[in-house]
Structure 1
C-alpha cells in the first residue's frame, strides 16, 4: 500500500524498498539493504558505526569491515540524495556525533507509520478498528525481506510479533462491535501461518463461537494444544484456556438479535494481593515542563496493552535539572491508570554513599509486593526471575531514580507488558535504549519565564517587586531547578535583603558557587551534586572537564577540545562523548557541545585549585591559536584576494577543519561566531592582547559582509584597546578603519569620518602605505555619501595613486569603483561607466567575487541613470545573485533596491515592489538605515505609479526622515518630490 503524503517512501514491512512517485530506487545488495534498514528503523536518531557493524556481521566482523561500511553509507547517501532531489523531499543521511542519522519524516517510513497507527489513542472500538486496519494495510509480507544477517532475522521476528499484536487488537475490537463474522477469514489466514500465536487463536475461537460455530472453535483449541505440546512441550496458556472453558460452559453466546452486545466471558476471581504505593510526595511548587509531561503521557498509549514489550523511558539530564521532580509530578498525575500499584527506588547512582545494587532493590520490591523474607531467593538471578513472575499480568508503574549505569537497571525491568518503567539518570543510558528499546527524554534547563515563576512560587512577592532582579537571578542560577531552589532558600533566609543585592553577590561565579553550596543537606548542595558526577570520571576525562571550564565561549566542538587539551581529534571526541554521557557537557546540534554556567564555574574552580597556572595558560594559548589560525584559513577560503590585508597567521599542527568549499568556511565562521567574539573579549582583558588585535583584523570582512555591525563594533573596539595597550600603532589604525566602516554601515557619518581621519594619522606614524591608502579610500566613500564630492575625489585619487605604486590590483579596483560613484553623483555617466568597467575587469582578473558584485551593481545603476532599464535589470540581477552566493548582506540590499528602481522604470511594478520590500527586510536585519530609506523611496515611486498617492506619500515621508537623520543629500531630492506633490493641480502641468 502506498503511504499517503509520502513523496519518498521507505518500506520495511516486506521487501526493503525506497520509492519515489511509485518508482522503486535501486538500493543495492543485501548488506547495503541491511544498513539502510537499520538507519530507517532508527530514523532521526544516530546509529554508530559500531552498531551498524554489529548488526551487519555480529561479533565476528571481517577485516576491512569499517571500510565496507563507509562504502555502503556513501552509496546510500548518493541514492537518497538523488531520490530526494527527484521527489523534492527533505531526506538526508548525515554524519553526526554518535553516528549516522537518516533525517526523514518518520511517517514516510512504513514501520513508524504502522506503529503510530497501531498505538494511536482511540475513544471507541470503531476508531480503533479504523486505525488498526490502516496500520495493517501497510504490511506486504515478511519484514526486512532482502536483507542479510542474524540481526535482521531477529528484528524481523520482533516485527512479526508486533504485526500479530495489531491483528489481535483489530480482531478483538471488531468482535466487540458485533462484527465477529468479519474477523474469521482474515484471522484464520494469519493463524494458519502462525499457529502458536495463542492470543490470536483465542480471538478466532471467540469469533467462531459468537457466530454459532462452536465445533470449529473447539477443534481449533485441540489443534493448538497438540501443536504446543509437540513443538514447545507446553500446555496452552491462561488466556486460551479461559476461552476454552467458557466455550465448554456455554458462556460465549451467539446472539444474532443483539449483534452489538459484547461476548460474555466470565473469569474466575483472583485472590487479593497487596497493592504497593511507594511514590514519594509530589514536588512542592513544581513549575513548567508541560511539553515533557505531554511526552510522558504519550507513553501511556504504548503501555495500554498494544505491545508485547515493556514500555521504558530513560529521563536523562544534568545534576539538579529536575529529573526526579518531573517523573514524580507525572507519576502522581497518572497513578490511577496503574491499579496494581507503584514501585519506587532511589538507586543513588551518583550518591557519595554506596550506590544501591540491583539485588538490594529487588529485595525491596519483592517485599513491597507481599513476599516474606523467606520467599525472596538468595541468588540475584532467581530474585529477578521471581520479581518478573510477580509482575506478570500486572499494570504497575515503576520508578527507578538516579541510576548510574544500565547494569543497575536491567534486572529491575519486568518481563511482560502492562508495566511502565521510568528511569532517571545523569547518563544517557545508551544501552537501555539500544537493548531494551527505552524512549529517551533529555531534560533541558527551565525556560526563563518558568524559572522566574518558580522563584515567585518559592519566595513570593519579592519576585513581583523586583522583576528585573528576579530574571537576573534566574539566569545566574542557569535556570537549573536545583540551583533556583537553593538560591530561593538563601533569599528566604535573608528576608530583608533585596533580591538585587543577592544578584550582585551572585554575579561573581566563584562567589556563586560558595553561596549556593547550601550548608544543609549535602544532596541539595550544588557543589556536592556536581562533584558526584565529577568524581566518577577517569583521570583524562576529569582533566578535560576542568579545562573546559577555561573555555570563554558558550559551546565548543571536538577541534576546540583537541586544541585545549593538546590532544588528537579522536581522543577529544571520545572524551566529549564520555562527558556528555554523564551530562557534564550537553550535546547540541552540528556536533557541538555546551556547559551551563554553574557547571562551567565549577569546572573552572577545579582547574584553579588542581591545575598549575602555567598549564592553564598553555591550554588557553593553544585554544586561542587554534581559533585564530582556523579563522584565518576560513577567511583565506572565502576572500583569497584580501589575504595580504589580513595578519599573517602561523599554520599550527593542532587538528583543524579543512575548508574545501566557501560554504564550509562560511558555516564554520557562523557556528563559531560567538566563540570568536568571546576570544577577543577574553584575550583583550587578560594576557593575550595580540590575539585580540589579530582576531579582529582577520575577521573584518566576515562581519562586514554579513552585516553583523554590533558584533563587529565589539571586536574592533576590543582590537583597538588591545593595540593601544601593547603599543601596536598599526593595529590601532586598522581597528580605527574597521570602526569607521561599522559607523558607515549604521549611517553615522560623523563618527565614520572622525575614525577614518584618526586612522590616516596613525598610518602616517607607522609609514604603512597600504593602510594609508585604505583609509583614504574609505574616507573618500564617506565624503561621497555626504555630498562632499570634491574632497571625496581627492582622497580616492590619493588612494588610487598609492595602490598603483604598490601594484595592489585589489586596491586599484576598489578605488576606481568608488571614483565611479563620485562621477555618478556629478552626472558624469560616461566617465562613471568607464571606471566601473575598469573595476569589474580588475576584480574578475583576481577572482574577487565581492568586488565583482559591487561593480555589477554600480554598472546597473549607471545604466538606469542613462535610461537603459533593460541593461540595468540584467546587471543588477547578476549582482544580486553574486551577493547572495557569497553572503554579502549589505550588497544584497543595495542590489535589491537598485533592481526595484530598474524594474519600476521598465514598468514591471509588481516585481519592483517585491524587490523593494525584500530590500527593506534585509536592510532591517543589518540595521542599514540608508538602504531602508532608499527602499521606502522606491516603494513610494511604485505606489505613485499605480495611483496610490496616499501610500506613496507615507513611504516618501519615511524615506525623508531616514535620509535627514543621516545627513545625506538624498533628503533634498525626496523633500522636493513631497513639495511638488503639495502644489495645486493646475501648477503640475508638464511635471
Structure 2
C-alpha cells in the first residue's frame, strides 16, 4: 500500500489507486494529511478538532472525528477484522497516529531524500546532492492535502521544506556546474512564490550560470516589477547581487559549506542545587521514543532558575548530541523586544556551517532549510526565555534524533497540544535555599551566622534569583546587615540591582507587562487582599468584571506564572510576588482601588454571615446594607460547605478587620468583626476573638454609635470569660449594659444580662448569676425572643449549682423543647450537655450517657471543638461512674487532645482525670 498526501490525497493498494470517494470527504482527507505531517507522532484529539474546524467546532466534533477514523481504517486496512487492533491508523496519546513505513508515504520519502541531499551537500558531494534533491522534488505535487488545510502551520512548514529543498537543489546544481538541471525546478518554484526574493535570485543565478543572460535579465525585471506594484518595494540585497552578476560577467563562485559542530551552550550555574525530580523528568522526556524531535518545556515564575536547570541538564547530556548544541536567548521577557524567529534561524543556519548570505528570505523558508540541515543529525537546541508558542514553533527541528528544551515564564499550551512534555520549575524549599546560599558564600559563612542565614533564606521565599542577589550583597558584608536591609527597606527594595537581568522587580515587571490588561489589573488588585492566598470568589469580587471574565484573568495569571493554582478554586502569590502586587496596589488610583476594596469587604462580610446562618440559623445579627454590585457573596449548600469556607478563610477574615480600619471603613470593620465572632468562639480561637473585638471597638468609638460599641463590649466580655480574664470581663459587661440601655435596646440589654450570668457563674458567684439570668429571661420572654431558650437552659444550670436538681432538670427539659422547636442545634447540644450533668448527679447514668453522647455529636456537627471536648469529658465522667474505666480513659484522652490543641485551661482538668486512673485497672 502507498499513500500520497503531497498534492491530491490518494491511496494505492496493490498498485491500484483506490477511488478518491473511498478516501472520503475533505474532512477525512484533511485528517489523513494531518496525521501524515506528524511523522508517526500522535496528534491529540483536540488538536485534530482545532485543525478541522478552527475555533468553531460543532458539538458532534468528537463523534465526527471518530467516524472519519473508522472510515480511513477501512481504506488503509481492508482485511482487518472488526475486533483486531489497528496497525496503521492507531489510537495513541489521547489521539491518533499514522504508522507507515517511509517508503509507503510520499511525504516521508520526500523528507528522507531531502535529508540525504543535505548530507551529501554538507560533505561537498554536490552531484549526489542534486540527484537526491531532484528525486525529492519530483514527489512534490503540491502542498500537503491538496488545499484542504492550506492555512495550517504544519502545511505551511511543509511548504517551507519544499522551498528550502528547491533552494538547496539550486545551490547544489550551481556548485556542481550543472545549472541547467536546476533551471526548470527553480522556474516552477518562482512561479509558485512570485515575491520570494531568494528563489528569484537563485533562478537568475542559474540562468546566468547556464549561459542565458537574457533569461536572467528577464527574470530580474519580472520580480522587480512585481515587488514594486504589489508591495511598493525595491529589490533586496540578494536580487541586486544576482542582477549585478548578470551585468558584470562571470557568476561568483557559489558558497561552500563547511563542516561545523556548534557548541553554543553558555556556562552553567556553579552553585546549582536540587532539582533532581526535574532533571529526571528531562531525561525521561528525551529517552522516550516519539518518532520525532523530543520537545520539553520548562516553565516557572521569573527568577525561579529555569535557565540554570536547562543548562545543567544540557551540559550533562551534551555528549549524547555529537552533532552540536544550539542556544539562544529569545528575549521573550525583559528589556528590548523579543527576537524574531527568522533572525534566530539565520543565526542557527550560519552556526551549522552555511554563510549568512545563503539564508533564504522569509521565516518559513529558513525553517525548511534549518530542518534540512538537521536531518539525520543529533543536535540539542536550547530555546531560552520564550515568549509564546509562535516564537518557538519555527525553531523546532522536524526529524528524530534532535531534542529541544524551551524555557518560558508562561505555559506554552500550543506546544503541549503538539506533543511537548511540560516540566514545571518550582520554588526551592528552605533546605535547598540554604544549600544554594552555602554554595555561593561557603558553608563556613552560614555556620558563623546561622540565624541570619535562615532569615535570609526565608526572606527570599525560595526564589533562586533573590538568593543569588542576597549572596552577592553578603559577599563583603555580614549576613546580619543583609537581614537588616531586608527588614528596613522591604524585600524588593533591598534586593534591587542596577542590572535589569538580575533585578527582581524588573523581572516581575516584565512578566506583568506580558499579560493582557485585564489580567494585569487583577494582579494589582490582588495586592489589596489581606492574604497572599486568595479564593477565586474573592478575586472575582476584586476584579468586579463578573465571574467569567474574572476566571479568565486568573487563568492568564496562572499561565504567566504570576499566580499559583494551589488547588481547585484557590490561588496563591508567592511572598515576593505578593510584595510586588502590594506595591502596585498602592499606586492604583482611588477611583479603581476604593470600589475594589468595597467589593472585597462586602464579599467577605456577606459570605461570612451566610456561612454562620447556615451553621446556626438562629444566631442574632442585625441587618446590614446589601452587598455592593460585583461583591457576589458565596452561598452554601450545607453545613459542611460553610464550615470548610470559614476554616479556609479564618486568617483572611481576621486580617480584613484591620484592612477595613486602615482604609477608613470603620462601620464595615465592626460588621466583619461581629460576623466572625460565632466562628472564632466555636473554634476556641479566643485570643483572636479578643484581638478582633478590640480593633472593632476602636472603630466603633470613631463611628460614635452606642449600639455598635455595646455589641463590641459584649463580644469582648465573652472573649474575656472564655480566657478567664475576670476583671476584663466585668469591665466589658458593665459598659455593654450601659450602652445597650443608652441605645434603648431591651433585647440587647437582656442578652447582656444572660451573658453576665454566664460570666459570674464561671467565677463561682452563683447567687448573682441566678439573679442576672432570671432578669434576662423575664425580659426575653416578654419580648417573645428566641434567646429565651438559651437563657432558660442557663437558668437550669444555675439552679443545679444552687442545689435545686429537680427544678434544674425541669428547666432544661423546657429549654430543650424550645431549642428543638426552633431547630437550633447548638442550643440543643448545650442544653443536652447541661441535662447530662444533672442526670449524672441524680444517679441516672444511662440518661446522662445518652445526653452527653448526643451533645458531643451535635457539637461536632456545628464545629464547636471546645464544647465537643467538654461533652467528651463529661461522657468520660459518666463511664467512670458506671465502672467502665477503659471507656473513661479513652474519652478523657480524646478530650485532652482537643483541649490541648485549643490551648484551653480545661485541659488541666482532663489531665487530672486521666492521672486519677493511674494504677487503676479496667
Question: What is residue 727 of structure 1 aligned with on the other side?
Answer: 704
1:822–1:336 CA distance, 2 compared to 1 (3 A): farther
Contact 2:485–2:494 (Cα < 8 Å) also in 1? no
Q: Any residues of structure 2 matched to 1:885-900 within 5 Å, and which?
A: 885-900=861-876
SS of equivalent residue, structure 1 residue 779: helix
CA shift digits 1:707-757 (9 cap, x unpaired): 233432332221122222333343333223323333433444554444434
Question: What is residue 817 of structure 2 aligned with on the other side?
Answer: 841
Correspondence for 1:792 among 759, 762, 769: 769
1:791–1:373 CA distance, 2 compared to 1 (3 A): same
Question: What is residue 104 of structure 1 aligned with on the other side?
Answer: none
Question: What is residue 956 of structure 1 aligned with on the other side?
Answer: none
Contact 2:532–2:578 (Cα < 8 Å) also in 1? no
1:768–1:326 CA distance, 2 compared to 1 (3 A): farther
1:230–1:499 CA distance, 2 compared to 1 (3 A): closer
| Superposed displacement of residue 894, structure 1 | 1.6
In 1, the alpha carbon distance for the partners of 2:664 and 2:429 equals 36
1:760 equivalent to 2:760? Answer: no
In 1, the alpha carbon distance for the partners of 2:903 and 2:480 equals 42
Q: Any residues of structure 2 matched to 1:88-99 within 5 Å, and which?
A: none
Contact 2:470–2:482 (Cα < 8 Å) also in 1? no
In 1, the alpha carbon distance for the partners of 2:727 and 2:719 equals 12
Correspondence for 2:914 among 939, 951, 954: 939
Question: What is residue 15 of structure 1 aligned with on the other side?
Answer: none
1:481 equivalent to 2:464? Answer: yes
1:690–1:377 CA distance, 2 compared to 1 (3 A): same
Higher relative contact order, chain-length normalized (CA < 8 Å, sep 6+): 2
SS of equivalent residue, structure 1 residue 436: coil
Question: What is residue 884 of structure 1 aligned with on the other side?
Answer: 860
Question: What is residue 287 of structure 2 aligned with on the other side?
Answer: 304
CA shift digits 1:859-917 (9 cap, x unpaired): 22333333233222322222222222222212221222222233333444444333222
| Superposed displacement of residue 854, structure 1 | 1.6
Correspondence for 2:272 among 279, 282, 286: 286
| Superposed displacement of residue 366, structure 1 | 3.7
In 1, the alpha carbon distance for the partners of 2:702 and 2:650 equals 25
Question: What is residue 428 of structure 1 aligned with on the other side?
Answer: 411
| Superposed displacement of residue 700, structure 1 | 0.8
In 1, the alpha carbon distance for the partners of 2:341 and 2:878 equals 77
1:652–1:621 CA distance, 2 compared to 1 (3 A): closer
Correspondence for 2:342 among 342, 355, 359: 359
Contact 2:265–2:311 (Cα < 8 Å) also in 1? yes
Question: What is residue 550 of structure 1 aligned with on the other side?
Answer: 528
In 2, the alpha carbon distance for the partners of 1:156 and 1:706 equals 64
Q: Any residues of structure 2 matched to 1:53-132 within 5 Å, and which?
A: 54=49, 59=54, 65=59
CA shift digits 1:684-712 (9 cap, x unpaired): 23311212111101111111112233432
Correspondence for 2:640 among 663, 686, 700: 663
SS of equivalent residue, structure 2 residue 781: helix
Question: What is residue 527 of structure 1 aligned with on the other side?
Answer: 505
| Superposed displacement of residue 337, structure 1 | 5.0
In 2, the alpha carbon distance for the partners of 1:765 and 1:843 equals 31
* Bigger radius of gyration among the two: 2
1:346 equivalent to 2:332? Answer: no
Q: Any residues of structure 2 matched to 1:151-230 within 5 Å, and which?
A: 194=87, 228=103
Contact 1:349–1:356 (Cα < 8 Å) also in 2? yes
Contact 1:628–1:649 (Cα < 8 Å) also in 2? no
Contact 2:453–2:479 (Cα < 8 Å) also in 1? no
1:398 equivalent to 2:374? Answer: no
Question: What is residue 147 of structure 2 aligned with on the other side?
Answer: none
1:234–1:559 CA distance, 2 compared to 1 (3 A): closer
Question: What is residue 155 of structure 2 aligned with on the other side?
Answer: none
1:431–1:727 CA distance, 2 compared to 1 (3 A): same
CA shift digits 1:5-62 (9 cap, x unpaired): xxxxxxxxxxxxxxxxxxxxxxxxxxxxxxxxxxxxxxxxxxx9x9699589955867
| Superposed displacement of residue 449, structure 1 | 4.1
SS of equivalent residue, structure 1 residue 808: coil
Question: What is residue 699 of structure 1 aligned with on the other side?
Answer: 676
Q: Any residues of structure 2 matched to 1:582-593 within 5 Å, and which?
A: 582-593=560-571
Contact 1:314–1:425 (Cα < 8 Å) also in 2? yes
Question: What is residue 663 of structure 2 aligned with on the other side?
Answer: 686
Q: Any residues of structure 2 matched to 1:377-396 within 5 Å, and which?
A: 377-392=360-375, 394-396=377-379
1:641 equivalent to 2:627? Answer: no
| Superposed displacement of residue 647, structure 1 | 5.3
CA shift digits 1:506-557 (9 cap, x unpaired): 24xxxx54443312x2212223222222223333333333333233322324
Correspondence for 2:897 among 896, 907, 921: 921
| Superposed displacement of residue 845, structure 1 | 1.3
| TM-score with structure 2 setting the length | 0.70
Question: What is residue 818 of structure 1 aligned with on the other side?
Answer: 794
1:504 equivalent to 2:483? Answer: no
| TM-score with structure 1 setting the length | 0.65
Deviates further, 737-746 or 717-726: 737-746
In 1, the alpha carbon distance for the partners of 2:335 and 2:781 equals 73
In 2, the alpha carbon distance for the partners of 1:871 and 1:883 equals 18
1:858 equivalent to 2:834? Answer: yes
Which ranges of structure 1 fall in alignment gaps of 5 or more residues?
1-47, 70-146, 162-189, 198-223, 242-271, 948-991
1:56–1:525 CA distance, 2 compared to 1 (3 A): closer
Question: What is residue 557 of structure 2 aligned with on the other side?
Answer: 579
Contact 2:753–2:772 (Cα < 8 Å) also in 1? yes
In 2, the alpha carbon distance for the partners of 1:602 and 1:854 equals 48
| Superposed displacement of residue 839, structure 1 | 1.7
1:191–1:866 CA distance, 2 compared to 1 (3 A): closer
In 2, the alpha carbon distance for the partners of 1:547 and 1:193 equals 54
| Superposed displacement of residue 273, structure 1 | 7.0
In 1, the alpha carbon distance for the partners of 2:710 and 2:585 equals 38
Question: What is residue 517 of structure 1 aligned with on the other side?
Answer: 496
In 2, the alpha carbon distance for the partners of 1:766 and 1:686 equals 27
Question: What is residue 428 of structure 2 aligned with on the other side?
Answer: 446
1:504–1:879 CA distance, 2 compared to 1 (3 A): same
Contact 1:470–1:499 (Cα < 8 Å) also in 2? no
SS of equivalent residue, structure 1 residue 399: strand
| Superposed displacement of residue 817, structure 1 | 1.7
| Superposed displacement of residue 621, structure 1 | 2.2
Contact 1:796–1:818 (Cα < 8 Å) also in 2? yes
CA shift digits 1:745-780 (9 cap, x unpaired): 344455444443443344344443333333332332
CA shift digits 1:50-96 (9 cap, x unpaired): 96995899558677x4xx99xxxxxxxxxxxxxxxxxxxxxxxxxxx
In 2, the alpha carbon distance for the partners of 1:747 and 1:396 equals 74
In 2, the alpha carbon distance for the partners of 1:236 and 1:357 equals 26
In 1, the alpha carbon distance for the partners of 2:535 and 2:758 equals 40
Contact 1:773–1:798 (Cα < 8 Å) also in 2? yes
Q: Any residues of structure 2 matched to 1:32-47 within 5 Å, and which?
A: none
In 1, the alpha carbon distance for the partners of 2:827 and 2:475 equals 62
Contact 1:466–1:499 (Cα < 8 Å) also in 2? no
In 1, the alpha carbon distance for the partners of 2:108 and 2:784 equals 94
In 1, the alpha carbon distance for the partners of 2:108 and 2:342 equals 32
SS of equivalent residue, structure 1 residue 550: coil
Question: What is residue 148 of structure 1 aligned with on the other side?
Answer: 63
SS of equivalent residue, structure 1 residue 439: strand
Contact 1:646–1:697 (Cα < 8 Å) also in 2? no
Contact 2:293–2:402 (Cα < 8 Å) also in 1? yes
